[in-house]
Amino acid sequence: MLLGCGILSGLCLQAAGRPTVEQWGVFELTLSGPTNGNPFLEVKLSARFTQGTNVLEASGFYDGEGVYRVRFMPPVVGEWTYETRSNVRKLNGTAGHFTVTKPGPENHGPVGVANTYHFAYADGQPYHELGTTCYVWEWQPAALQAQTLKTLAASPFNKIRFCVFPKRYQWNTNEPILYPYASRDQCATTTNWDWGQFNVKYFQHLDQCVAALQQLGIEADLILFHPYDNGHWGFDRMPASADDRYVRYVVARLAAYRNLWWSLANEWDFMKQKRESDFVRFGEIIAHEDPYPHLLSIHNGSLLFNDTLPWITHASIQNGFAVEEPGRAELYRDVYRKPVVYDEVKYEGDIESRWGHLAADELVFRFWNATVAGTYCGHGETYRSADQILWWSKGGVLKGQSPARLAFLKKVMDDAPAEGIEPVDKWQSAGMGGQPAKYYLIYFGKQTPTNWVFELPKPPVAAVKSAEGLRFTAETLDTWNMTVTPVPGEFTLEKKDNYTFADKDGRSIPLPGKPYQAIRLKVISGPPGSRSPGLP
């Protein structure tokens, strides 16, 4: 029996009359079904959604109190029909139709891989990943959650990594506000969980948090497993059947949210009760169950996962060492032929652990190294606090100096060519990113030059027939003080040798002799003498 159609777009809204939902919004089918037995284990439910030749199958889920839901993210506009399938007669064969309208102005669809190493929304708009991490912000008291969302809204971050399961670790020994499973002992903190009984309130709250992030334009990089439990609750060591059921349940609930990314695990190799093959199985389940599919990755401790597996969409890497130098950062690109996101590169903060006391400038430096290497970087913050609230784990407020600089970097990324920033002259020189013959971003890091001789590697023929005579504007960027200073005049390329073009007048660009400087060059597409850069 059909109870009603809910349309979620950030928050859940009821539509009156003929159901409509915008493209990449959430169409939610709500059905009434059995409450006897264990619906989580016994009831199978899915729906087939059809529009023309588009056919997608989405799994449904039990949401407690006799309520069953199937959520669907329509990928194209038009008239859609659906029909349910279930092993329960009451839920089987329910059919209907709905209209999918154009997306609203803030809705660009899910993020996917673009140009091999980069990301774009489904509508084609480039997505420049700039993520942060608050592992269990959503299981903190309501006021703290609200504060986290407020902080995020004012931040430059467009992705947040967080865990489904609660976390127990240093600075994070409080119990979560809810638990994901019903207890056999009626005792909230027991480890005697009933793996067959999801606590729907827990997952409803998770839904709301993902939706709240969507409202802010932030991608939810949801971590399915992590080791920071260590048997305290036992969610890190459930039986394999419970693991698989949990993965399917989360996919059924959340796959319809366009801002959802799957992260199979945080520090997968630190989960000593799991084997590598377990994570392969989880990945295969998601690859099979997720109808869209969303981005999917897995985050490492000290052992990299095999990110060449076909269902892994991008490499999510913890390795601060790799972004200490742009020449290191670019190496993983060629191995994986996928976007590389350095999701954990140590944290801005002042705790004792060596992963948690980077100076702000060091963290910003790592982001820039990653950027000019054609990769992406992740933020985190671990400032010691009397209230035990560290952003990295619980959210709250940002105290560091890096976010403002990362907002500046974000502007630079957004101003770059849509194809993305690539290493220029791969495996030959580090620190120069861009698109050959079009755009260059030269980062000097901790070097303190007073001058940069205008020389560029010969662009490949695929980029330009000949670089001879190409003209560029130049700007100097102080990446720490967040200034952009145009360099007077323009620069014209002339062949220097088989590998290099230089300014025809042998000009250089003066630099202030301070660290963290960059130069940005943009080709001038107008006639000689004009100053209009070739990029918007």
Nearer to its own copies, 362 or 415 (CB): 362
- Side chain identity at residue 66, one-letter code: G
Q: Using CA atoms, how far apart are residues 327 and 431, in angstroms rounded to an integer?
A: 7
Give the number of other Cβ atoms within 10 Å of residue 265's Cβ: 27
Strand partners, 376: 341
Does 332 bind its own copies (CB under 8 A)? Our answer is yes
Does 327 bind its own copies (CB under 8 A)? Our answer is yes
Question: Residue 187 CA to chain centroid, in angstroms?
Answer: 36
Nearer to its own copies, 2 or 303 (CB): 303
Rounded to 5 degrees, φ, ψ at 472 are -135, 145
Does 248 bind its own copies (CB under 8 A)? Our answer is no
In the list 10, 320, 339, 395, the residue contacting its own copies (rule: CB under 8 A) is 320
Nearer to its own copies, 46 or 435 (CB): 435
Pick the closest to residue 460 from 477, 435, 483, 441 (CA basis): 435
Does 102 bind its own copies (CB under 8 A)? Our answer is no
Does 44 bind its own copies (CB under 8 A)? Our answer is no
Does 352 bind its own copies (CB under 8 A)? Our answer is yes
* Structure tokens that stand for 228 in this block: 């920071």
Segment contacting its own copies (CB under 8 A): 9-17, 314-322, 379-387, 439-447?
A: 314-322
Instruction: Name the minimum Å distance from CB 295 to its own copies.
Output: 20
Does 470 bind its own copies (CB under 8 A)? Our answer is no
Segment contacting its own copies (CB under 8 A): 19-27, 320-328, 392-400, 463-471?
A: 320-328
Strand, coil or helix: what is 490? strand
Q: Using CA atoms, how far apart are residues 292 and 213, in angstroms rounded to an integer?
A: 19
In the list 201, 328, 495, 514, the residue contacting its own copies (rule: CB under 8 A) is 328
Does 350 bind its own copies (CB under 8 A)? Our answer is no
Instruction: Name the minimum Å distance from CB 319 to its own copies.
Output: 6
Does 354 bind its own copies (CB under 8 A)? Our answer is yes
Nearer to its own copies, 235 or 268 (CB): 268
Does 494 bind its own copies (CB under 8 A)? Our answer is no
Rg (alpha carbons) of the chain, rounded to whole number: 25
Segment contacting its own copies (CB under 8 A): 30-38, 239-247, 352-360, 394-402?
A: 352-360
Residue list 409-448, contact with its own copies (CB under 8 A)? 426-428, 430
Instruction: Name the minimum Å distance from CB 306 to its own copies.
Output: 6
Instruction: Name the minimum Å distance from CB 344 to its own copies.
Output: 11
Q: Using CA atoms, how far apart are residues 412 and 67, in angstroms rounded to an integer?
A: 48
Q: Using CA atoms, how far apart are residues 162 and 132, in angstroms rounded to an integer?
A: 9
Segment contacting its own copies (CB under 8 A): 139-147, 298-306, 487-495, 522-530?
A: 298-306
CA distances to 1, 25, 385 from 6, in Å: 15, 11, 42
Nearer to its own copies, 451 or 498 (CB): 498
Does 310 bind its own copies (CB under 8 A)? Our answer is no
Strand, coil or helix: what is 353? coil
Segment contacting its own copies (CB under 8 A): 202-210, 228-236, 318-326, 484-492?
A: 318-326
Nearer to its own copies, 36 or 498 (CB): 498
Q: Using CA atoms, how far apart are residues 291 and 248, in angstroms rounded to an integer?
A: 12
Q: Using CA atoms, how far apart are residues 58 and 291, in angstroms rounded to an integer?
A: 6
Reported as type and span, the H/E element at residue 318 is strand 315-318
Three-class DSSP labels, 161-211: EEECCCCCECCECCCCCCCCEEECCCCCCCCCEEEEEECHHHHHHHHHHHH
Report yes or no: 142 and 205 within 8 Å, Cβ to Cβ: no
Q: Which residues bind its own copies (CB under 8 A)?
A: 302-304, 306, 308, 319-322, 324-325, 327-328, 331-332, 334-335, 352-354, 426-428, 430, 498-499
